[in-house]
């Protein structure tokens, strides 16, 4: 029986990896230019961490965590990155070292969701967390950076949604108001929404069910319940985004699947590429209460997480060209050792090189060289060894020259820098 990968968990094969590397490099570059430093936290955490930070009455904690029981411990594969970074921040007392910390991470997350295009059980997220800056300028800078980043990658038709969820007291008032508004419609709601009516009515705003959507269409807006401070913060954010020329829409119905958010909440969607119905590229917001909740001091925080698979779906599927390779083809045993030395020198100069170690006729070696997509093939036999030279074949330009062994690296570099077939090649 053939063994298959776990449902909703994908292999990323070498043919696809170029696009991943390019995306990861672009993300790292953007984050580092804006002062974020990478943090790597474990893929497994105590399940309790996610219950406390994400919230008990959320889909993720109720149904989607991959739980591992080991002796006395209940562990979970991380469903998102924020909780682990916050735990590390508190555990290592990073708040004592600097007033404002900016971290980024890239890594796999795990949620037992129903798999579909753009929704997997293992997926990759990149995200940042900023600790110690409470102001709306910080929120605006983050959203603006993300819009520029996605535009720079070539993602088309971006939609930036922003909302404010206020603080705990406002949220409690809104929960009351929304619950009272929706209760008379209870028999019109989906079964799932009816269940949420008492424990977490905000989640009904997020429902994809048409009956639920009809019921919440004229529901009260949380923006009307913000207190003076929260309103000033939200106005500060929208003013800054306007001044930066960052397009956005205020979306009072925006709620996200994690309970820890306070004040600013945002999501960036697209209709570009092959994205399909799972069109949220990234989501984020403030979570000013989490560090205290996890045993640290009161430190304001904001962050976001972007799904790498979704960004790749939204981008044109252009293959990323692999760098030109060199193939070293030795004829005979003595040349075999020399081929390994030649390959070592070429790699040390940064030239991607394969050395044949299987042996065979010149014809079969040249066929193998073609199979690797090599631009240059270096042929080395006993005659070449005795003369201290190497036969250098340009497989694309179909030319061949003899090169002294000592000049090999420089000549190969020069040839690789030219277009195949150009006069200088």
Chain contacts with ligand AMP (rule: CB under 6 A): 80, 111, 113, 118-120, 123, 125, 256-257, 280-283, 305-307, 309-310
At its nearest, how many Å lie between ligand AMP and the CB of residue 1?
Answer: 28
At its nearest, how many Å lie between ligand AMP and the CB of residue 290?
Answer: 14
Alpha carbon distance 261, 286 (integer Å): 5
Residue 259: how many other CB atoms lie within 10 Å: 20
Q: Closest CB to ligand AMP among 52 and 393?
A: 52
At its nearest, how many Å lie between ligand AMP and the CB of residue 178?
Answer: 21
Alpha carbon of residue 9 to chain centroid:
15
At its nearest, how many Å lie between ligand AMP and the CB of residue 281?
Answer: 5
Alpha carbon distance 289, 367 (integer Å): 63
> Hey, is 374 helix, strand or coil?
coil
Strands (E), 132-271: 158-164, 249-250, 262-270
Distance of CA 390 to CAs 58, 331, 386, 401, 406, Å? 66, 12, 10, 8, 10
Q: Closest CB to ligand AMP among 9 and 177?
A: 9
Residue 84: how many other CB atoms lie within 10 Å: 24
- Report the run of H or E that residue 307 belongs to, with start and end: strand 301-307
At its nearest, how many Å lie between ligand AMP and the CB of residue 339?
Answer: 45
At its nearest, how many Å lie between ligand AMP and the CB of residue 37?
Answer: 21
Q: Closest CB to ligand AMP among 111 and 375?
A: 111
Q: Closest CB to ligand AMP among 84 and 307?
A: 307
Q: Closest CB to ligand AMP among 283 and 330?
A: 283
Alpha carbon distance 309, 313 (integer Å): 6
Nearest residue to ligand AMP by CB is: 307
At its nearest, how many Å lie between ligand AMP and the CB of residue 81?
Answer: 8
Alpha carbon distance 416, 425 (integer Å): 9
At its nearest, how many Å lie between ligand AMP and the CB of residue 331?
Answer: 50
Q: Closest CB to ligand AMP among 201 and 307?
A: 307
Q: Closest CB to ligand AMP among 136 and 283?
A: 283
Alpha carbon distance 256, 389 (integer Å): 66
Smallest Cα–Cα separation from 408: which of 331, 353, 370?
353
Q: Phi, psi at residue 172, to the nearest 5°? A: -65, -40
Identify whether the C-beta of residue 257 lies closer than 8 Å to the C-beta of residue 59: yes
Alpha carbon distance 73, 121 (integer Å): 23
Identify whether the C-beta of residue 345 lies closer than 8 Å to the C-beta of residue 357: no
Q: Closest CB to ligand AMP among 125 and 353?
A: 125
């Amino acid at each position: 029986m053939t063994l298959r990968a776990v449902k909703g968990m994908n292999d990323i094969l070498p043919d696809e990896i170029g696009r991943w590397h390019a995306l990861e490099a672009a993300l790292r570059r953007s984050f580092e230019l804006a002062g974020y430093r990478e943090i790597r936290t474990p893929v497994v955490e105590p399940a309790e961490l996610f219950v406390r930070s994400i919230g008990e009455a959320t889909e993720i904690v109720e149904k989607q965590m991959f739980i591992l029981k080991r002796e006395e411990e209940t562990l979970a594969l991380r469903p998102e990155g924020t909780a682990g970074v916050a735990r590390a921040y508190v555990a290592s007392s990073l708040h004592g070292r600097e007033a404002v910390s900016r971290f980024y991470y890239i890594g796999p997350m795990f949620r037992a969701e129903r798999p579909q295009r753009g929704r997997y059980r293992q997926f990759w997220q990149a995200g940042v967390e900023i600790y110690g800056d409470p102001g709306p300028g910080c929120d605006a800078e983050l959203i603006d950076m993300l819009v520029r980043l996605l535009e720079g990658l070539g993602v088309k038709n971006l939609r930036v949604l922003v909302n404010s969820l206020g603080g705990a007291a406002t949220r409690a008032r809104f929960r009351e108001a929304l619950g009272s508004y929706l209760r008379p419609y209870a028999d019109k709601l989906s079964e799932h929404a009816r269940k949420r009516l008492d424990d977490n009515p905000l989640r009904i705003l997020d429902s994809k069910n048409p009956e639920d959507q009809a019921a919440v269409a004229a529901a009260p807006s949380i923006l009307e319940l913000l207190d003076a401070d929260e309103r000033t913060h939200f106005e500060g954010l929208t003013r800054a985004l306007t001044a930066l020329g960052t397009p956005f829409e205020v979306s009072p119905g925006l709620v996200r699947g994690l309970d820890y958010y306070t004040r600013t909440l945002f999501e960036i969607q697209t209709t570009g590429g092959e994205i399909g119905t799972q069109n949220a590229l990234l989501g984020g917001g403030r979570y000013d209460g989490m560090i205290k909740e996890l045993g640290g001091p009161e430190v304001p925080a904001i962050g976001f997480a972007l799904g790498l698979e979704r960004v790749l779906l939204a981008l044109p599927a252009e293959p990323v060209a692999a760098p030109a390779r060199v193939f070293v083809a030795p004829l005979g045993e003595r040349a075999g050792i020399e081929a390994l030395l030649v390959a070592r020198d070429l790699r040390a100069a940064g030239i991607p090189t394969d050395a044949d170690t299987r042996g065979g006729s010149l014809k079969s070696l040249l066929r193998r060289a073609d199979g690797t997509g090599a631009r240059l093939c270096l042929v080395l036999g006993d005659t070449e060894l005795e003369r201290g030279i190497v036969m250098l074949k340009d497989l694309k330009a179909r030319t061949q020259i003899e090169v002294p062994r000592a000049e090999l690296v420089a000549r190969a570099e020069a040839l690789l820098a030219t277009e195949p077939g150009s006069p200088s090649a």
